[in-house]
Structure 1
Amino acid sequence: MKAMILAAGLGTRLRPFTQKMPKIMVPINGKPLLAYHLRMLKKQGIKEIGINLHHFPEKINGFLKNGKQFGIKVLYSYEKKLLGTAGGVKKLENFFKETFLVLYGDNLIAANLEPLIQFHKKKRTLVTIALYQCSEPWTQGVVQLDKKARIVAFIEKPPKELCSSNELSNAGIYVLEPEIFSHIPSDSFFDFGKNLFPALVSKNIPMYGFQLDGYVRDIGSPERLSNVIKDMRQGKTKQ
């Protein structure tokens, strides 16, 4: 299995940290977020990785090089103009010929991905979205499932007073089939959350959600980054 790490974003919410580096290179306890992604993927046996670049691409390239020192093979995809999350994956369409993973560069995740992958294969679905119980779903959006774990709705930043304590949010990991590329236009900005997934729901194309058993936290703001660093020092991020 191969994976794609989305690393092209500007990381504006995480300034000033991202004024000199991409978000995925922001250090957490002495190592960039990217290093934690690589460790999790290697535990899963994934050693071929695509990664898109735009904001300070030399920082990522200088850290990873050809990937050999990390025991992986890396395919870089430079985006002169941002293509969005789905558009960035579409650009590497020829790299993915079978089931593959997509990881966002926004979250620190410590979880075993095997149950997620097996769930996806069992459902024989086009898309499986990893989910987690978010402590502040009104800031990130909510994913609603039916009793069979099929996704029925995406609610973007619902009112705080309408959120329950067990709401599920997008963890930023997808298991996808190559057939997904037929739903993504080429060479244009296209986003998973804003464009692709709502379109699939409207066409009644099945997508499923799977709740991860592990640690998932967004590092998208200085405050959230600080909280993740505290969690790590307290041993809460081990898997």
Structure 2
Amino acid sequence: MSTFHGRCGGQPLRTALVLAGGLGTRLRPVVSDRPKPLAQVGGEPFLGRLLRRLKAQGLERVVLCVGHLWERIADYVGDGAPWGLDVVLSVERTPLGTAGALKNAERHVEGPFFVLNGDTFLDVSLAAMARFHEENGWLATMAVTRVEDAGRFGLVEKDFRGRLLSFNEKKGIPGAPGWVNGGVYLFERRVLGLIPAGRPVSLEQEVFPGLIERGEAVGCFAAPGYFIDIGTPESFFKSQKEREYLP
């Protein structure tokens, strides 16, 4: 595993925001008593696995963007000491969407920062992703991975340099392969200033399409490692069978 170098553009890069506030509607038939990031995979909450991975990659601080049943997450994580992390919670009193959650956590962010979905895992080197981001001068970088069935995911189109050309949230052709959003991002702090406050905002449906339309430099970092999304009963059961690939 690559050791994370901890800086980007000369600024400290040690913080990750984890999107853990979703309602988990699709997963509710099999996980109804807890927020989705606390779903047990191999006898351990999925969120615990993500936190251990972030620590192993050299990050120091995690902001959990929480909402639905957030008290359960607070009880489990505490201040992050079991993982050797500094963990704080950013609580949404009403659902704000994936980008609105980041805006709500703006006060906790000082420089460039990673973002991870709390219900997906992508085996990606954050150090390599940060180098790609810095060397190309991207404002935002999305980790992308290639899957055999892109129908459930955000389908991306990129050029030979890795620049994001288009992003179509969950509009892939069922059964067709393609590059998809891996649920890991690296943003310059300026992106937060482009997100409207006080209303739900979607990264996938508003922010990334808006950045492309504005001509902003948005990169796609190809990550061919293991990828799983536990957001549906089918993928959740798959994660139980493939847990040896998880951190």
TM-score range, shorter chain: over 0.9
CA distance in 2, matches of 1:193, 1:144: 14
SS of the aligned residue for 1:14 comes to coil
Aligned length: 233
SS of the aligned residue for 1:185 comes to coil
CA distance in 2, matches of 1:122, 1:213: 20
Which of 222, 226, 229 pairs up with 1:215?
226
SS of the aligned residue for 1:198 comes to helix
Which of 159, 164, 173 pairs up with 1:146?
159
**Contact conserved, 2:137 with 2:217, CA < 8 A, in 1?**
no
Partner of 1:225: 236
Higher helix residue share: 1
Which of 85, 91, 109 pairs up with 1:96?
109
CA distance in 2, matches of 1:51, 1:186: 18
Matched, 1:159 2:173: yes
Cα displacement (A) at 1:223: 0.9
CA distance in 2, matches of 1:51, 1:141: 23
- The residue type equivalent to 2:19 in the other structure is L
Q: Deviations over 1:199-225 (max 9, x none)?
A: 111111110101114211111111111
Partner of 2:4: none
Cα displacement (A) at 1:47: 1.7
**Contact conserved, 2:156 with 2:168, CA < 8 A, in 1?**
yes
Cα displacement (A) at 1:37: 0.8
Partner of 1:182: 193
Which of 182, 190, 202 pairs up with 1:171?
182
- The residue type equivalent to 2:51 in the other structure is L
Counterpart mapping for 1:1-239 below 5 A: 1-156=14-169, 157-160=171-174, 163=176, 165=177, 167-232=178-243, 235=244, 237=245
**Contact conserved, 1:12 with 1:18, CA < 8 A, in 2?**
no
Q: Deviations over 1:30-62 (max 9, x none)?
A: 111101111111012112111122111121111
**Contact conserved, 1:112 with 1:213, CA < 8 A, in 2?**
no
**Contact conserved, 2:116 with 2:183, CA < 8 A, in 1?**
yes
- The residue type equivalent to 2:147 in the other structure is C
SS of the aligned residue for 2:123 comes to strand
- The residue type equivalent to 2:132 in the other structure is F
CA distance in 2, matches of 1:216, 1:172: 10
What is the aligned-residue RMSD (CA, Å)? 1.5
SS of the aligned residue for 1:168 comes to strand
**Contact conserved, 1:126 with 1:180, CA < 8 A, in 2?**
yes
**Contact conserved, 2:49 with 2:246, CA < 8 A, in 1?**
no
- The residue type equivalent to 2:165 in the other structure is V
- The residue type equivalent to 1:5 in the other structure is V
Residues 179, 6 of structure 1: alpha-carbon distance in 2 compared, 3 angstrom cutoff: same
Cα displacement (A) at 1:2: 0.4
Cα displacement (A) at 1:238: 5.4
Q: Provide structure 2 residue ranges, at least 5 long, that are not aligned to the other structure.
A: 1-13
- The residue type equivalent to 1:214 in the other structure is G
CA distance in 1, matches of 2:203, 2:74: 25
Bigger Cα displacement from structure 2, 189-198 vs 150-159:
150-159
TM-score by length of 2: 0.90
CA distance in 1, matches of 2:227, 2:172: 20
Q: Displaced runs of 4+ in structure 1, greater than 6 A?
A: none
TM-score by length of 1: 0.92
